Amino acid sequence: MTSPEREYVSAHLDDLHADLDAWLRIPSISADPAHAGDVAASAAWLAEALRRTGFPTVEVWPTPGAPAVYAEWPSADPDAPVALVYGHHDVQPVDPPELWVHPPFEPTVVDGPDGPELHARGAIDDKGNVAFHLLGMRAHLAASGRDTPAVTVKLLIEGEEESGSPHFADLLRERRDRLDCDVVVVSDTGMAAPHLPSAVTSMRGLADVELTLRGPAVDLHSGSFGGAVPNPLHAMARLLAALHDDQGRVTIPGFYDRVRPLSDRERELMGRVPFDEQEWLAGPAASRTTAGEAGFTTLERIGARPTAEVNGMWGGYQGPGHKTIIPAEAHAKLTFRLVADQRPQEIGPLVQSWVEANLPAGIEAEVHAPPAGVAPCASDLDSPWMDALLSAIAQAWDSRADDVLFLKEGGSGPEADLVEQLGAPLLFLGAGLPTDRIHSPNERVLLPMLHRAAEATAHLWRELAARRPA
């Protein structure tokens, strides 16, 4: 099968590859203040690339943190729908650097079993997912013979997603008059496998908590005081061990009160996704066995159920040899992935009450929970915009819209802010794969996935225009 969009993309792949080679060399690590200049340079690079593509309006929007990039290309059709593309240009830290086979900011093409792979930090998360829109827009215009896109296209590419998007909601409020749209296209996700056209339909929310337990006022000699005073590390170990019951459910009272149950339709749709659990364990999961909430499949656990995870715990002496003490303090970091209709701002108080109810005598607790967090979000499976997305993906993957699989993304991002501030429905179009080692050493993107995604976005603008509101 072929199409004018595919022919254009195929003839201009070198442009996409050259763009990524230049952009991925910029170490735009938003979490590290030492790279603030690099994040600004990344925004400037993208702004120039968008101008080169033909966007008549391109602006770099400052924030109290890292800059975002805004672009707009109005359709000549005054009644055309308006689509806003969301992504981010910042990247994760590269630690530990010694585990990278190739330098993380020297893009390297490697032959893989499914085709050529591009290895670099940000190759898919999220510079690759943004870059395919540059080629996709040009393919759309060339295929349609238009001077302007069939829909008005806006892009908002932020610079702090990998740092929790602390200023994103404020930016949306401040720039609200520029961001009106009918639909938001999120390009920060992926698909099930190279040969399986699929669309993400939801993302989980996120709340984080840091616990500090205090016992004696100072570190004490374990020989003189051990067995006679409370040990905060013992208390922390017992507390965290009680975070889940023997069925893998979170034990915090009230945690599941707002959880929307999975419908039979949702479970049936998720069940269509081919999933080899042993292959997943040996590959991206790098684990010996599965674990989690009883009564749910692994795919349901990681995409459609809420979780509580201990991300780190520390306290006392951690140097060489022994220091025989009872430590004064113990610490732990926890995160909670949330599903519809949970509210991140309610998790901190629930944890506070649970900790207070389970503290042993002589131990004091401090629970620090940032008030904002990230809310969960989801697409409307029955909207005409979703029909347009499925049709675009199907054309790029030589498939049928009815055969496009639905995925639930286990990760979290600021997409709920877009829904809340702009009041527009979400679509997800991304080219990532579970094997792309996102956030890990040796991040990669499968280049054929980017090529197909560029074609899909070229189809998408035409398909959205055909479904304009009445």
Burial of 166 per CB tally in 10 Å (0-12, 13-18, 19+): middle
DSSP strand pairing (57-61 vs 68-73)? antiparallel
Domain 205-259+306-368 has CATH 3.40.50.150: no
Which of 117, 31, 132 is CA-nearest to residue 87? 132
Q: Extract the runs of DSSP E, i.e. beta strands, from 215-328.
A: 220-221, 307-314, 325-326
Taking the domains of the chain in order of start, what are their residue ranges? 4-203+376-465, 205-259+306-368
Distance CA 414, CA 169 (A): 8
Per-residue pLDDT, averaged over 10-17, amounts to: 98
Distance CA 470, CA 447 (A): 38
Distance CA 139, CA 459 (A): 9
| CB-based contact 254:350 (threshold 8 Å) | yes
User: Which CATH architecture describes the domain 4-203+376-465?
Assistant: 3-Layer(aba) Sandwich (3.40)
Confidence of residue 470 (pLDDT cuts 50, 70, 90): low
| CB-based contact 183:418 (threshold 8 Å) | no
Helices (H) and strands (E) in the chain, counts: 14, 18
- The model's pTM is 0.88
In the predicted model, what is the mean pLDDT of the chain?
A: 96
Which pLDDT tens digit goes with each residue over 216-246? 999 999 999 999 999 999 999 999 999 999 9
Which pLDDT tens digit goes with each residue over 303-359? 999 999 999 999 999 999 999 999 999 999 999 999 989 999 999 999 999 999 999
Burial of 326 per CB tally in 10 Å (0-12, 13-18, 19+): buried
